[in-house]
Structure 1
Amino acid sequence: MPPQLALLVNPAARGGRALRLLEPVVRRLRAGGADVSVIAGRDATDALERACTAVAERPDALVAFGGDGLVHLAVQAVAGTDVPLGIIPAGTGNDIAAALGLPRGDAMAAARTVLRMKSRLIDAVRVRAGDADELYAGVMCCGFDSRVNERANRLTWPPGMARYLVAMAEELRRFRPIPFRITLDGETVEREAMLVAVGNTRSYGAGMRVCPDALPDDGLLDVMVLGAVGKGEFLRVFPSVYRGTHVTHPAVSITRARSVRLEAYDVVAYADGERVGPVPVTCDVRPGALRVIA
């Protein structure tokens, strides 16, 4: 029997440019013997409903053709089932795909990986903030970076990544260290911080290696805290996150835990680049909850 693949598509990935790869990818999958059905929702809610319906029909895999945001949506549909998640990276960041060793920038190579249908189990993280209760596979962040996301989402210009650079510059002028109450496996500390990240994988935001040693299958969360520093020092330290060398800075700490609760005022949590909701936020690891093609 040929593998039955439900291909979940984000028409807006890379500003719509990723759709140029869709037809060649579908041809490659079908040439490899797969029976492919394409799912494209009108919006995120519709796409999730369609993905859940597809998973209920027990395909051999649900394949996300897009970036981390679409993978985040697909995780909601497949977690806790025996339907594996395939990923064909077609977004801007593709950090979850990178953590799984999947080829980025080569959709045909990613399609060949899907066709091999070799899967493994990784962890997922249950995150609860406000009325939200969902799962993520990569990194949850709150603090400076989530406030930049909030600001960028309110801007209508400029387009693309430039909008985030503008938002970052505007936020930096106003930003002050945030008093956090951080509880790890029941033990609580209070400290001011620039940002806190809870990682199942090592990077987010198109390659920021915020938790460089995080493993997606160790049953633990890596909690990175960047403590209060001056703006000049923050600007000096922040670029080093792309190399993962920020961990040597005295204001940075990384702790492993199974359960994390963050409390702070006027902070919103983002997971896999998607808005979750206002803090307080609780994260609990769910070992082996996701089967992924990798």
Structure 2
Amino acid sequence: MAARIIFNPAAGNGKAVKILESVKPYLRDQDIEIVTTKGPGHATELAREVANEKDLTVISLGGDGTHHEVINGLMPMGKTIFGVIPAGTGNDFVRVLHYPASLEQMVHTALYGPNRWFDLGAIDDQYFLTVAGAGFDAEVAGWANKHKKQGNGTWVFIRGILYNALGYRPQPMTVTIDGHSTTQNTFMIAMGNTQYIAGGMNICPQADPHDGQFEIMWVEGIKPWQILPLLTRVFRGTHVKRSVVKTFPARELTVEGPSGLWVHADGELIGHLPVHVKTIPKAIRVHMGI
């Protein structure tokens, strides 16, 4: 078997089913197994079954939540090569892979393209590909996961931002790096292994999954009327120029705050504060475009 495709039929509000039917002609006469998830967490189990096969490519056909589950099945071994066929709501991970626009070429790249070592983030026993965070972004992620069937793409996240903007109140958070702690009233904190969240928001514009560190983006406790003007800058990544935003690199950090505050990773709610977050350099090989 050259590859295993882990297919999530629930991804993208039905989009994944259509994409699978579209790619099947490109998979004929190839030694490729397609396995279908049956519910939350199943993609992790299906990935774990083959996690020790170093000559195997594992493809996640779904959204960022599916990719999150698959990578958590492949780690901590990290022996297989990973690729994706995007079919979700946000599709943020694939934005850094430089895949071709053509579906046929995209599938070929996901299966056979050049591979490069990627860093991952880790929070306790959870691994993540893109961005983890606490505060406003975690609240929006939770809202978006509940409402994915009511829209597609970035619009779901924009609706979540608008819904949560007026009612959200900043909370005190403490960040500790190398034994040095800083506390401030916080709107949100994001830890970027890659740049994007929420369907293309360039939240951590300097994040690079090949440099062995996160870009941290920490926003102080802003007023409700300041939220939308700041967030309109996020798609271009210019929000980091505002005085209320701090950015800095870190390989490892602890984030503390009220115990009821959610934490997300790859847009999936994974727990509450406090958390210890670290980079896993060169954790897994990923098929990329040129």
Q: TM-score, normalised by structure 1?
A: 0.89
Q: Does structure 1 residue 282 correspond to structure 2 residue 276?
A: yes
| Other-structure match for 1:97 | 94
CA offsets 1:171-200 (integer angstroms, 9 cap, x no match): 222222211111123321000111000000
| Other-structure match for 2:186 | 193
| Other-structure match for 1:127 | 123
Q: Is the 8 A contact 1:78 1:84 kept in 2?
A: no
| Other-structure match for 1:292 | 286
CA offsets 1:13-33 (integer angstroms, 9 cap, x no match): 2101221121231321335xx
Instruction: Tell me, in whole angstroms, the C-alpha distance in 2 between the residues paired with 1:99 and 1:126.
Output: 19
SS at match of 1:54: coil
Instruction: Tell me, in whole angstroms, the C-alpha distance in 2 between the residues paired with 1:82 and 1:185.
Output: 30
| Other-structure match for 1:184 | 177
Match of 1:30 among 25, 28, 42: 28
Q: For this pair of structures, how many residues does the alignment match?
A: 285
**Aligned counterparts, 1:257-272, within 5 A:** 257-265=250-258, 266-272=260-266
Residue 156 to residue 54, structure 1, CA distance change in 2 (3 Å):
closer
| Other-structure match for 1:52 | 48
Where does structure 2 lack aligned partners over 5 or more consecutive residues?
Answer: none
What is the RMSD computed on CA atoms of the aligned residues?
A: 2.1
Instruction: Tell me, in whole angstroms, the C-alpha distance in 2 between the residues paired with 1:15 and 1:157.
Output: 6
- CA shift, 1:165, in A, is 4.6
| Other-structure match for 1:146 | 138
- CA shift, 1:99, in A, is 1.4
CA offsets 1:238-271 (integer angstroms, 9 cap, x no match): 1111110101101111110110111111211111
SS at match of 2:28: helix
Q: TM-score, normalised by structure 2?
A: 0.91
Q: Is the 8 A contact 1:178 1:264 kept in 2?
A: yes
- CA shift, 1:156, in A, is 9.3
- CA shift, 1:155, in A, is 6.0
Where does structure 1 lack aligned partners over 5 or more consecutive residues?
Answer: none
Residue 293 to residue 152, structure 1, CA distance change in 2 (3 Å):
closer
Match of 2:11 among 13, 22, 26: 13
Instruction: Tell me, in whole angstroms, the C-alpha distance in 1 between the residues paired with 2:180 and 2:2.
Output: 46
SS at match of 2:162: helix
Amino acid at match of 1:84: I
Q: Percent identity?
A: 30
Q: Is the 8 A contact 1:224 1:254 kept in 2?
A: yes
| Other-structure match for 1:136 | 128
SS at match of 1:55: coil
Instruction: Tell me, in whole angstroms, the C-alpha distance in 1 between the residues paired with 2:85 and 2:156.
Output: 26
